[in-house]
Every structure is written in structure tokens, then in C-alpha cells.
Amino acid sequence: MESLADKSLLLNELDQPYAVSPEAVEFYRKNGYVKLKHVLSPAVLDYYGAIITDLVFRLNTLIKPMEERTTYERAFLQIMNLWREDDQAREFVFSKRLAKIAADLMEVEGVRLYHDQALYKEPSGGITPWHADQFYWPLASPKTVTVWIPFQETPMEMGPLAFAEGSQHVEIGRDIEISDESEQVLADELQRQNFSMNDTPFELGEVSYHAGWTFHRAGPNRSDRPRKVMTMIYMDKDQIISQPRNHYQVADHTTWLASLPIGSKPQDDMNPILYSR
């Protein structure tokens, strides 16, 4: 059991600012993602990783054998909005430290939560095909970012996240859902346009932030352990809800934005402001 003193140290770390360098902001602006080292301590990752892992396996409903799953289902177990399921998961998701980094990188005054999601790639789990997240979101501004937090070091055999550098600036593949087709079409197009790919491993405590329109993928998990990852999606606190452009955005408008009117801002109960200057 954690002592109260230990727990207060963990909570303090989640609130303490992390110094984002001007070089990191510039790298993010240019490339649409950035990887940052030593963002969270092993103690924080161990404590909250255990809580989130327990929730993932308790709430997971995907029990089909791997060979019977779709490409999307083979990619990961996906459990969303853990902050509404558990008070300690909420402590992690509501980290001011992580939210302020998002605001610093997007160069905005503050950020709201869109939603969180745990993404656990099981042993023998398949690829996560090339895609851009904002295809799924009825949000007017590209000022969106996802933090990707592995609870373990993530070598190449576990399928770390990989990014097409600078791809947030091009309007290719913005109408393709995550699928075998998106993997093939986007791989060909990104290669044709000469985008370089960063697919390096993650150290323990290293996290990445990627913009909503940055194309990314992950390899299969060839290890004998699950690749345990927690993500939070942040948006500019002044983000505007846009007219849904596909049936996924229609569903997101209902699920994550409470069907609020097109042209309005998200509200605090479903999309709380996690950091404001």
C-alpha cells in the first residue's frame, strides 16, 4: 500500500510543471509531434499504471480470439473515458503537468479534455495502421493533440508509435478510417511525398504528443507482454464544435460532446478545462 506521504508526492508530480524548451515547441510546430524524456517518474507510472491496467482488463469486452478479430480489433484493447470510471484514474487524466505541456506545444491559452483512452496492445497484437485521429472528431480547429504515455519502456518489438514528420500540413487521406486500406494508401502516399518516419523506441518516462492531423502508426507487439499505453486527447479550450463530416464524427458528437449545438464550445462537465494560464 502507498502511504499518504507517498501518494501526495505522486499527486504533486502530476501537478508540477514540466519545462518545455523552445526547441521542443518549434519541433512540434514543424513536425506535428514531439517525444519528451523524463516527463513522468517510474513511481507515477508504476502506481497509476497498475490502476489503469486493472480497469482495462475489468472493463474490456473484446474477448474474441486474435485470429477472429478485424485489423482494428487486433491492434489494441481500447477503453475510453476512464476518468469517469475511477477517482484515481481521474487524478492521472487530470494531470496539470501533462495538460500544460499540451497547451505549450499548441501555443494556446489553455486546454480541455476531449476524452482519454487506454490502448493496450496484447502479445501477438497486430499493427495499428496509418491514420490521422482528427478524421474521427467534429472539431473546427486543428489545435488538438494526443499525449501517448507508455507504462513500460517500449522497444521496437512492442510496437512503439511512429510518426510521419510534417504530415499534419498536407490534406492527404483525411477521409480514410483506420483500416487495412488506410495502411496501404497512406504508406504509399507518404512514401511518394517523401515524408520521413520516426519510429524509435520509448524509454521509461518518455511520452509523445502528436497533433490531430499528424499521420501515425504502430508495429505489432512481438513480445510476450502487453504494450500498456494511456492516452489523453486535448483540445484548445476555445475549440468549436463543427458539422460532422462522417458517421464516426456523428457518433463522437453524441458521445464526447453531448450533442451540443454546431458552432458552440464544448462544456465543462464532459470536456473540462484541465489547464489555463
54 has pLDDT over 90: yes
Residue 23: pLDDT band by 50, 70, 90 thresholds? Answer: very high
pLDDT in tens, 210-258: 999 999 999 999 999 999 999 999 999 999 999 999 999 999 999 999 9
The residues with which 149 forms a beta bridge, in sequence order, are 230
CB neighbourhood size of 61 (10 A)? 7
More confident residue, 25 or 124: 25
Residue 91: pLDDT band by 50, 70, 90 thresholds? Answer: very high
Closest CA to 265 of 160, 123, 110: 110
CA–CA separation, 23 and 4 (whole Å): 38
- Across residues 53-65, what is the average pLDDT? 83
pLDDT at 50: 97
Residue 265 has what DSSP assignment?
A: P
pLDDT in tens, 103-116: 999 999 999 999 99
The residues with which 211 forms a beta bridge, in sequence order, are 145
Q: At what angle do helices 4-15 and 96-106 cross, to 10 degrees?
A: 10
Q: Are the beta carbons of 185 and 176 closer than 8 angstroms?
A: yes
pLDDT at 77: 82
Q: What is the mean pLDDT of the chain?
A: 92
How much is the pTM? 0.93
- Across residues 36-58, what is the average pLDDT? 96
**How much of the chain, in percent, has pLDDT values that exceed 90?**
77
- Across residues 167-190, what is the average pLDDT? 79
CATH code linked to domain 4-261? 2.60.120.620
Residue 125: pLDDT band by 50, 70, 90 thresholds? Answer: confident
Residue 13: pLDDT band by 50, 70, 90 thresholds? Answer: very high
259 has pLDDT over 70: yes
